[in-house]
């Protein structure tokens, strides 16, 4: 995959960073206009299916819609001059396009938008836009997880120091770290996919949700329209009961969280003082001719930036889900751009984190060096455990604590101090000391966790 392909959008100055993934293209103005026209076409088709108009009428509307080129900014301006949403202007333009002056054209024109209201069009179009935007996001998440799988597999047994509160704690493996990222990506992706499927549904209710404009054919048109659009059919119109969008943005929120976590870890691993992994410079990115030592993790940083904007927008969409009666006095409109932003930003976050991971270079020897930074102190507890079997836990603990103190005071390593401590040597011998201080001997279940994570990933993919 060429991630650069993700950048061809109409977004401008900040779009290279925040409109990167395929989702960004799918939520642009022209995609919205297309989706709204698709809704009108499906409505006409469904009306024909239900016998409310002839198939020819529906075909005329479809043909006119296919040929119609609308300027989104013009629709935007007319929104502001008129009803407060772009649908009336779009319907007028479509109606005029259908009415080609012939009697059949005029007749067909009379069927445009028949029975629907503006909110039906925008809400259903939102589902279409969402359905079209998410696949590339899901694909980027899958790609990122695949790369984690590769890293987890290759580094199943590569020791790295575990860090808690940013302090070195005890060793884990880079494989388990990558496997954890992968599991998070997989769960967020699976849930987003499922939620999207479950919440992607027709909205058709007419003026107030009764489909009163469709006479006795309401249910038939409703069913046919959902089928034509490939959307779920809701039990009742959901125009002002916004559980579906709330669930969708919740799932997007989870994607943001896991992407941000990985991005943060990459940035931390790439620190000059840590240097255990970094993004391979690509073209001019990340490197610096004037600062040759810098390896800026640009992709991870940008992924983090995209993801950092998600929680606030999730809150906004949830707040904006509280609608008055049969159409909201502001909340409905308030949710349009934030949902678009969420689709775009989660898509960008996914694209960037995939790129970050795919470019990630890993340095196991630096990981090994860093484990040694404390001169063995990170494995002091392992020594205690080894000694406890021979000397009792309390005495073992005291001996090791004292040895640590001496190691720190003398700026020497724990190994030498222990080797100079007769009680320790007597108890476990040089081999016991060596084993206790070998990171690879203290990785617990890390390998087994990696194995089952990889199995789960294969099953999902």
Non-local (6+) Cβ contacts of 346 within 8 A are 23, 137, 252, 255, 256, 259, 306, 307, 310
**Minimal distance, residue 50 CB to its own copies, in Å:** 12
* Nearest CB to its own copies, comparing residues 64 and 89: 89
**Cα separation, 262 vs 252, whole angstroms:** 16
Is 102 near its own copies (CB under 8 A)? Answer: no
DSSP three-state, residue 188: helix
Are 356 and 275 in contact by the 8 Å Cβ rule? The answer is: no
Residue numbers 322-381 binding its own copies by CB under 8 A? 322-334, 336-338, 370, 373-374, 377-378, 380-381
Of 352, 186, 358, 172, nearest to 258 (Cα)? 186
* Nearest CB to its own copies, comparing residues 229 and 339: 339
Secondary structure in 3-state letters for 87-109: HHHHHHHHHHHHCCCCHHHHHHH
Task: Tell me the window of 54-62, 224-232, 429-437, 442-450 that interacts with its own copies (CB under 8 A).
Answer: 442-450
Is 193 near its own copies (CB under 8 A)? Answer: no
Is 267 near its own copies (CB under 8 A)? Answer: yes
Task: Tell me the window of 41-49, 133-141, 300-308, 427-435 that interacts with its own copies (CB under 8 A).
Answer: 300-308
Is 103 near its own copies (CB under 8 A)? Answer: no
Q: Give the DSSP H/E element, type plus range, for residue 159.
A: strand 159-164
* Nearest CB to its own copies, comparing residues 142 and 323: 323
- The alpha carbon of 406 is separated from its chain's Cα centroid by a whole number of angstroms, namely 49
**Burial of 232 from C-beta contacts in 10 A (0-12 / 13-18 / 19+):** middle
Is 274 near its own copies (CB under 8 A)? Answer: yes
- Residue 356, token pair as written in the block: 């970050």
**Cα separation, 123 vs 253, whole angstroms:** 21
* Nearest CB to its own copies, comparing residues 69 and 165: 165
Is 443 near its own copies (CB under 8 A)? Answer: yes
* Nearest CB to its own copies, comparing residues 297 and 432: 297
Is 175 near its own copies (CB under 8 A)? Answer: no
Task: Tell me the window of 45-53, 58-66, 136-144, 171-179 that interacts with its own copies (CB under 8 A).
Answer: 171-179
Is 243 near its own copies (CB under 8 A)? Answer: yes
Instruction: Determine which residue in the list 67, 69, 101, 289 makes contact with its own copies, applying CB under 8 A.
Output: 289
Give me the catalytic one of 288, 319, 393, 405: 288
Task: Tell me the window of 50-58, 93-101, 128-136, 242-250 that interacts with its own copies (CB under 8 A).
Answer: 242-250
Task: Tell me the window of 41-49, 57-65, 402-410, 421-429 that interacts with its own copies (CB under 8 A).
Answer: 402-410
Residue numbers 136-155 binding its own copies by CB under 8 A? none
Instruction: Determine which residue in the list 261, 395, 419, 425 makes contact with its own copies, applying CB under 8 A.
Output: 261
Structure letter (DSSP) for residue 21: S
Task: Tell me the window of 51-59, 95-103, 396-404, 428-436 that interacts with its own copies (CB under 8 A).
Answer: 396-404
Residue numbers 19-58 binding its own copies by CB under 8 A? 20, 29, 32-33
DSSP three-state, residue 431: helix
Is 410 near its own copies (CB under 8 A)? Answer: no
147 catalytic residue (yes or no) = no
End-to-end CA distance of the chain: 17
Of 460, 265, 274, nearest to 367 (Cα)? 274
Is 422 near its own copies (CB under 8 A)? Answer: no
Is 315 near its own copies (CB under 8 A)? Answer: yes
Give me the catalytic one of 92, 114, 227, 327: 327
**Cα separation, 422 vs 6, whole angstroms:** 64
**Cα separation, 76 vs 121, whole angstroms:** 15
* Nearest CB to its own copies, comparing residues 59 and 114: 114
Is 4 near its own copies (CB under 8 A)? Answer: yes
Instruction: Determine which residue in the list 136, 158, 180, 203 makes contact with its own copies, applying CB under 8 A.
Output: 180
Are 143 and 358 in contact by the 8 Å Cβ rule? The answer is: yes
Is 291 near its own copies (CB under 8 A)? Answer: yes
327 catalytic residue (yes or no) = yes
- In this structure, the strands spanning 277-279 and 360-362 are antiparallel
Non-local (6+) Cβ contacts of 37 within 8 A are 65, 68, 70, 90, 94
Instruction: Determine which residue in the list 53, 120, 181, 391 makes contact with its own copies, applying CB under 8 A.
Output: 181
Of 101, 215, 47, 149, nearest to 354 (Cα)? 149
**Cα separation, 1 vs 375, whole angstroms:** 44
The residues annotated as belonging to the active site are: 288, 327
């Amino acid at each position: 995959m060429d991630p650069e392909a993700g950048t061809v959008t109409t977004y401008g100055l900040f779009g290279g960073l925040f409109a990167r993934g395929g989702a960004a293209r799918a939520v642009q103005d022209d995609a919205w206009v297309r989706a709204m026209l698709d809704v009108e076409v499906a409505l006409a088709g469904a009306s024909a299916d239900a016998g409310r108009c002839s198939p020819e009428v529906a075909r005329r509307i479809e043909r006119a819609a296919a040929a119609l080129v609308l300027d989104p900014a013009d629709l935007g301006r007319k929104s502001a001059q008129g009803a407060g949403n772009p649908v009336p202007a779009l319907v007028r333009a479509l109606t005029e396009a259908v009415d080609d002056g012939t009697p059949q054209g005029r007749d067909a024109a009379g069927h445009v938008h028949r029975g629907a209201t503006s909110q039906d069009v925008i809400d259903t179009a939102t589902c279409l836009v969402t359905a079209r935007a998410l696949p590339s996001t899901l694909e980027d998440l899958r790609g990122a997880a695949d790369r984690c799988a590769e890293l987890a597999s290759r580094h199943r047994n590569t020791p790295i120091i575990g860090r808690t509160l940013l302090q070195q704690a005890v060793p884990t493996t880079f494989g388990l770290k990558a496997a954890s990222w992968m599991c998070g990506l997989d769960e967020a992706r699976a849930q987003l996919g499922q939620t999207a499927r479950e919440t992607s549904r027709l909205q058709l209710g007419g003026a107030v949700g009764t489909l009163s404009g469709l006479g006795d054919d309401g249910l038939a048109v409703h069913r046919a329209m959902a089928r034509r659009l490939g959307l779920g059919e809701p039990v009742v119109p959901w125009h002002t009961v916004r559980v579906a969008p709330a669930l969708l943005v919740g799932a997007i929120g989870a994607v943001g969280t896991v992407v941000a976590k990985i991005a943060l870890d990459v940035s931390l691993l790439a620190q000059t003082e840590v240097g255990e992994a970094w993004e391979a410079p690509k073209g001019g990115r990340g490197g610096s001719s004037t600062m040759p030592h810098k390896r800026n993790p640009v992709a991870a940083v940008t992924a983090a930036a995209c993801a950092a904007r998600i929680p606030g927008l999730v809150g906004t969409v949830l707040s904006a889900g509280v609608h008055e009666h049969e159409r909201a006095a502001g909340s409905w409109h308030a949710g349009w751009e934030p949902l678009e932003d969420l689709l775009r930003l989660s898509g960008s976050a996914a694209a960037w984190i995939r790129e970050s991971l795919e470019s990630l270079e890993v340095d196991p020897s630096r990981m090994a060096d860093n484990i040694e930074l404390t001169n063995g102190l990170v494995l002091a507890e392992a020594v205690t455990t080894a000694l406890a079997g021979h000397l009792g836990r309390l005495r073992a603990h005291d001996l090791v604590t004292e040895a640590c103190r001496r190691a720190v005071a003398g700026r020497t390593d724990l190994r030498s101090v222990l080797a100079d401590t007769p009680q320790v040597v007597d108890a476990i011998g040089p081999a016991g000391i060596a084993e206790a201080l070998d990171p690879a001997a203290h990785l617990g279940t890390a390998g087994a966790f990696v194995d089952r994570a990889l199995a789960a990933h294969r099953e999902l993919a």
